Structure 1
Amino acid sequence: MSAALRLNPVQTRILDLLNAAQRPLSAYDVIEALSGEKRMAPPTVYRALQKLMDEGLAHRVESQNAFVACRHHGPAHSAAFMICRSCGATREFSAAALESFLGQTARKNFFAPEAVSIEIRGLCAACRTPDPASVPTP
């Protein structure tokens, strides 16, 4: 976050929630999480989430209509995620080479992309590893 960037208290609180979350949060998850503090209308939350995305502090996980904190601060980049289909854990990763390939492909086809979102679904290491208690002993 740049020194010139000023987030209001709602934006700061939502960014804190996204940073603490173990999975993407929908706007309604955010509203629910903040319900003990004060009632917030969906448009207020969506505006705050949009500001965080505009500033490169959050991304939208398209397939889930949910949001995560950006883990790769720096130059603007397309969002790339690995999403566990079992526990919902979502990990952002750098996809610079893939982003470059997609950009070249779009240019060759005279296509002007407006947004790129890369999502890989599967099982995380924790969900893929069998529980030792469930493995029969010889």
Structure 2
Amino acid sequence: MLDPLSAGQTFSGLTKNQALVLETIAKARKPIGAYEILRKLKPYGIKSPVQIYRAVNSLIQCGIVHKVESINAFVRCTDVHLHRGQTTILAICDGCGTVVEHHDGTVDRLLEAWARQEALQVEAVAIELKVRCASCSASSSADEH
């Protein structure tokens, strides 16, 4: 049986579906899509994509999960308390799919100032970097020699 508490931090008040979805995302080694989550959770009684999306949306609102917009997949937040009120920046390795999460209030201030200057009302922010992690860069360099 999946254990939603084994991922490090504990979260009280999660529904059964939220706990199962969170554990599945936490155990994935790279971003995981809704249909892959559904495939893994069918043995636990989750039968429809709607169940997955409801659970994921709740987890995103709680700041426990991030959506990787560019690939329509989800990752577990590495530190739920660190980014309260700060934009999350996700760096996604193009080679292995590893995601590194970063939070920076400076980015928020720059974006807010720019939006004000342009008379824009920001509704959502998603910053994603397409990168090569150190491991993939090293293996690419080794392949070239």
Q: Identify the residue that residue 66 of structure 1 maps to in structure 2.
A: 73
> Over aligned residues, Cα RMSD in angstroms?
2.2
Which structure has the greater CA radius of gyration?
1
1 or 2 for the larger relative contact order (CA 8 Å, sep ≥6)?
Answer: 1
| Residue aligned with 2:78, SS | coil
Q: Identify the residue that residue 100 of structure 2 maps to in structure 1.
A: 91
* 1:18 shift after superposition: 1.5
Q: Which amino acid aligns with 2:58?
A: K
Instruction: Choose which of 60, 72, 96 in structure 2 pairs with 1:53.
Output: 60
Instruction: Choose which of 29, 52, 56 in structure 2 pairs with 1:22.
Output: 29
Structure-2-length-normalised TM-score = 0.82
* 1:39 shift after superposition: 4.0
Structure-1-length-normalised TM-score = 0.86
1:110 aligns with 2:122: no
| Equivalent-residue separation in structure 2 for 1:56 and 1:133 (angstroms) | 39
| Equivalent-residue separation in structure 2 for 1:72 and 1:54 (angstroms) | 15
* 1:134 shift after superposition: 5.6
Give ranges in structure 2 of 5+ residues lacking alignment. 1-8
Give ranges in structure 1 of 5+ residues lacking alignment. none
* 1:47 shift after superposition: 0.5
| Residue aligned with 1:23, SS | coil
Native 8 Å contact 1:78 1:115 kept in 2: no
Question: Bigger CA drift: 115-124 or 15-24?
Answer: 15-24
Q: Identify the residue that residue 127 of structure 1 maps to in structure 2.
A: 136
* 1:95 shift after superposition: 2.6
Q: Which amino acid aligns with 1:106?
A: A
1:8 aligns with 2:15: yes
Q: Aligned residue pairs: how many?
A: 135
Native 8 Å contact 1:15 1:69 kept in 2: yes
Q: Which amino acid aligns with 1:70?
A: C
* 1:77 shift after superposition: 3.0
| CA pair 39-47 structure 1, distance change in 2 beyond 3 A | closer
| Equivalent-residue separation in structure 2 for 1:135 and 1:24 (angstroms) | 28
* 1:37 shift after superposition: 2.4
Native 8 Å contact 1:86 1:123 kept in 2: yes
